[in-house]
Structure 1
Amino acid sequence: MMEQHSGVFERMAIRISNWSEKWFPDSYVFALLGVIIVAIAALLIGAPAISISAAFGDGFWSLIPFTLQMTMLIVCGYVVSVSKPVEKMIRGLAKIPKDGRTAIVMIALLSLLISLIQWAMSTVLTALLVIALAKRKDLNMDYRAAAAAAFVGMGATWALGLSSSAAQLQANKDSLPENIYQLTGVIPFSQTIFLWQSIVIVLVLIVLSLAIAYWSAPKGPHVKTMLDFGLQFDEESLTTQPNKDQQDVIKRPGDWLETSPWLTIIVSVIGLFWIYAEFTTKDPMIAISNLNTYNFLFLILGLMLHGTPRSFLNAVYKAVPACSGVLIQFPLYGSIAYMMTKAINVEGHSVSHYIASFFVSISNQETFPVIMGIYSAVLGFFVPSGGGKWIIEAPYVMQAANDLKVHLGWSVQVYNAAEALPNFINPFFMLPMLGILKLKAKDVIGFTVTQMIFHIPIVLFLLWLLGRTLTYVAPQL
């Protein structure tokens, strides 16, 4: 009976994936549509066209610090994941499981835990683990279910951890657009991801995700291995080691410097001294909530793990294409946020004001987390960008939270928990992992949809239940 239901879920998911792959354009197109829709909405409320145009231009560069920070987050996470020491660790982990199902559970657990620390690293590292496990013919591991397990952290826990774009943004005044800062003030990690209520959600989702990963994994004749896909992976590494034919070239000073670890060692030591001072002179919770410090930790870690400048740069070159969406879309999100809040009509109201008023009219203090959770999850399918989408939503979400006297930090967590859910069915964030595994979204989405079906009611229930234990605190400006 369970296998019949699993088959129904999988067929439904594949149809959704096929439809989205055929009809959904690149997320950049959605950013452009967002600009147009908000501009029209501003005109409809009576805002002058010149005011709308000014808001668009003023907001375009408002997220430059945050854009660079998110770019560095992606690059540093990738660089750490493909280093030689991590590669050796993956090979060691691949020897542990005794059968395909336990291998899939191990992949899922790693994905869930690492995504709490660094979401970009979780998708790359777990994809490499899938390949290492798939090469073990004795496991008879389903390659599709393993790939879905490698991605489960992006749909379950990533937005509730340290790399949460919304939580990081709210904890850093220098990264916050002024219009959002005036609504929320700085919200430290202690009021978002480190709330005991947030930790409860994380623990529940980890247990739930692992159980689903285990029971939904095919077994026996239903298993489809890597060989069934006709895939082979050669032993390769992003690090570059000189071979015998290159020895005479390495004698040149420039090439010797690229392949020598000494420059990396010196720079890493300097960086480690700074990190030590940062965490010993400040509250560690405040230090780690600084996105610059957070990225710097992974940058130094990447340098040390790669050893030589050449190895490090090779990894960076591979990581940069994954940043293209952030670089071109985040400026547009900044423009959208400004048009929503700064383009006002003769009554002094903006688009953001009217949207916030609508949510206040259909919500109360108790129902707000559920209503906003559903809304954020639906919007997340069309605008797959955690940090960028928060810039769009925050003006009216946090205004409504202030009006209804809902805990502001919990409002951020409502967004975080719900925003991650559509990742289970949206191919956007799957692309780096699928590229490594040489699969298509429709190959794995049957298993991720199964996860999502169980996650949605649990997440919404917990957001409502745990939200009742918190009281409102006015913004600290």
Structure 2
Amino acid sequence: MLSGIGTFFAERFRRWLPDSFIFALILTLIAAVWALFAVDAGPVKIAEAWYKGFWILLKFAMQMVLILVTGYAIAISPVASRFIDWLAGRINRPLWVYASVVFVGQIFTLISWGWIVLVAVLARELSMRVKGVDYRLAAAAVYASFLPWHGGLSGSIPLVLNTPENFLIKAGVLSGIIPTTLTLGSPMNIVISLGLLFTLPLLFMLMRPQKENVQTFDDLRAGDAPVKPLSVEEEANSLCLSQKCISDTLNSSWIISVLIILMGLYIIVSHFWAKGFDINLNIMNFLFIILGMMAHKTPIRYVVAMKRACSNVSGIIMQFPFYAGIMGIMIYTGLGKQVATSLAASTSPGSFPLVAFLTGGLLNIFVPSGGGEWAVVGQPIVEAAKTVAASAGMTVEATQAFIAKSSMAVGYGDSWTNMIQPFWTLAFFPIVAAGSSLQARDIMGYTFVALLWSFVIFALGVTFLPM
């Protein structure tokens, strides 16, 4: 019954929601019309504000691209493949397949949201090796493992807040960084992450279909199974010339990689030794680059891995300038401050984080990117949080913690409604659905149930848990 309800909603979303880029354009027009009437800004001022903002997120967009591709490159390394083989050899019951995929998957996505591709490989391998696995539910477990990502090491909002000279600081909305001890390391985030980590596997075990309703990979197979693609190592070797030459020797030189890796490790160790748990977009991307080079051993193999990873970034590159343009309208016409004032006037310190969570969830339907969404709503949310904190007489330290809590609530909202917004299935469906008739709508019934359950954890967490 629950699966049927989820499918009902997923079908409607599939029929009603256009491509996410179209939503970026629609939101641009909505913001422009809103500013035209709400703050009495003329069309010329709105257009100029839009263009002024259009280019302010170029650095941020590149940071988001690197978070995805560097994590993806690690996920397709030989080390990751060996781990999947080891794990797959120890699971032999369908019930444990569902639980393992969503449990291990959450750990992976807490490290990097780009690692969802590794979760997809795990689900596919287990489903093909273990008899009686419902492939729809296994694929849904892959997507559900995405739920805690914004509370992990690659979470866009906490990393942005802790990055020097981020766009909120440059816009004068924040006076300085907000450390990850107040976001990722907060009691609220730890409890919410653990709540999801240990309850979602139970939820997916309970959702297993009756034996007569199971649809295995073989049942969904579309024609012949696809030819197994070349591994990164095999593709790198295929690029070599038939005769030995200097260029191939340099391309395959592990010595060059080792020297760069040693230099990189020095920077990483020095950073964390001096600053402790200080994670921002720059150090996280740098860490993933060095780990990726270690995992692939030679420069040319890492080149091949990054080439494959970069095939998934078109949405970020194309859409971020338009998100930045919306942010420009919000900031430079005064619309953002008006929205912040309205939010602050209708909430209290106790209710504002929940409002921020619901705002993040709603906006994610239209802007299915954590970084892009934060570009649109970050300024008004932070302004409103500052106003609510001031009205409650909070200290500077308490205000900073309150901004951190409210910002994380937006991130949780973004993660939450991913379960009914299939945009990010694009990151893993080419792997999990290859050679089968599986479609995104086939899994949305299960992920809708995950949305209902995760709402309880997120809502209670942002309302009652301390920072």
Fold-level similarity (TM above 0.5): yes
1:12-411 equivalent positions in 2, closer than 5 A: 12-44=5-37, 45-121=39-115, 123-137=116-130, 139-154=131-146, 156-178=147-169, 180-183=171-174, 185-230=176-221, 232-241=225-234, 249-280=242-273, 282-286=274-278, 289-343=279-333, 350-405=334-389, 407-411=402-406
Q: CA deviation at 1:170?
A: 0.9
The alignment partner of 2:40 has SS state of: coil
In structure 2, the partner of 1:475 is none
Q: Distance in 2 between matches of 1:218 and 1:256?
A: 54
Provide closer, same or farther for how the CA distance between residues 354 and 254 of structure 1 changes in structure 2, counting only shifts above 3 A. same
Q: CA deviation at 1:22?
A: 2.8
Letter in 2 for 1:443: D
Residue pair 1:179, 1:341 contacting (<8 A) in 2 also: no
The alignment partner of 1:240 has SS state of: helix
- Identity over the aligned pairs, expressed in percent? 27
Q: CA deviation at 1:410?
A: 0.5
How many residues get paired? 449
In structure 1, the partner of 2:396 is none
Letter in 1 for 2:154: S
Letter in 1 for 2:153: L
The alignment partner of 1:25 has SS state of: coil
Q: CA deviation at 1:457?
A: 2.8
Q: Distance in 1 between matches of 2:51 and 2:366?
A: 24
Unaligned runs of 5+ in 1: 1-7, 344-349, 471-477
Residue pair 1:380, 1:419 contacting (<8 A) in 2 also: yes
In structure 2, the partner of 1:436 is 431
Q: Distance in 1 between matches of 2:17 and 2:77?
A: 35
Q: CA deviation at 1:250?
A: 4.6
Letter in 2 for 1:151: Y
Q: CA deviation at 1:233?
A: 4.8
In structure 1, the partner of 2:395 is none
Residue pair 1:170, 1:188 contacting (<8 A) in 2 also: yes
Q: CA deviation at 1:339?
A: 1.1
In structure 2, the partner of 1:11 is 4
Residue pair 1:180, 1:394 contacting (<8 A) in 2 also: no
- Name the TM-score, length of structure 1 as normaliser: 0.89
Q: Distance in 2 between matches of 1:128 and 1:263?
A: 30
Provide closer, same or farther for how the CA distance between residues 150 and 181 of structure 1 changes in structure 2, counting only shifts above 3 A. farther
The alignment partner of 1:420 has SS state of: helix
Residue pair 1:238, 1:311 contacting (<8 A) in 2 also: no
Unaligned runs of 5+ in 2: 390-398
Q: CA deviation at 1:262?
A: 2.8
Residue pair 1:170, 1:176 contacting (<8 A) in 2 also: no
- Name the TM-score, length of structure 2 as normaliser: 0.91
Q: Distance in 2 between matches of 1:164 and 1:371?
A: 20
Q: Could you give the per-residue CA deviations for residues 11-53 of structure 1, whole angstroms, max 9, x where no partner exists?
A: 2222322332233221111111122111112221211333222
Provide closer, same or farther for how the CA distance between residues 440 and 266 of structure 1 changes in structure 2, counting only shifts above 3 A. same
Letter in 2 for 1:224: Q
Provide closer, same or farther for how the CA distance between residues 215 and 356 of structure 1 changes in structure 2, counting only shifts above 3 A. same
Q: Could you give the per-residue CA deviations for residues 153-207 of structure 1, whole angstroms, max 9, x where no partner exists?
A: 22x2101111110111111122324465434632110111111121111111222
Provide closer, same or farther for how the CA distance between residues 393 and 92 of structure 1 changes in structure 2, counting only shifts above 3 A. same
Residue pair 1:184, 1:398 contacting (<8 A) in 2 also: no
Q: Distance in 2 between matches of 1:311 and 1:72?
A: 17
Deviates more, 1:222-231 or 1:112-121: 222-231
Residue pair 2:192, 2:458 contacting (<8 A) in 1 also: yes
User: In angstroms, what is the RMSD of aligned CA positions?
Assistant: 2.1
Provide closer, same or farther for how the CA distance between residues 71 and 414 of structure 1 changes in structure 2, counting only shifts above 3 A. same
Q: CA deviation at 1:242?
A: 7.8
Q: Distance in 2 between matches of 1:20 and 1:334?
A: 26
Residue pair 1:377, 1:418 contacting (<8 A) in 2 also: yes
Residue pair 2:102, 2:144 contacting (<8 A) in 1 also: yes
Provide closer, same or farther for how the CA distance between residues 241 and 258 of structure 1 changes in structure 2, counting only shifts above 3 A. farther
Residue pair 2:236, 2:300 contacting (<8 A) in 1 also: no
Residue pair 1:109, 1:206 contacting (<8 A) in 2 also: yes
Q: CA deviation at 1:99?
A: 0.3
Residue pair 1:425, 1:449 contacting (<8 A) in 2 also: yes
Q: Could you give the per-residue CA deviations for residues 238-260 of structure 1, whole angstroms, max 9, x where no partner exists?
A: 31338999886251222233234
Q: Distance in 1 between matches of 2:179 and 2:237?
A: 54
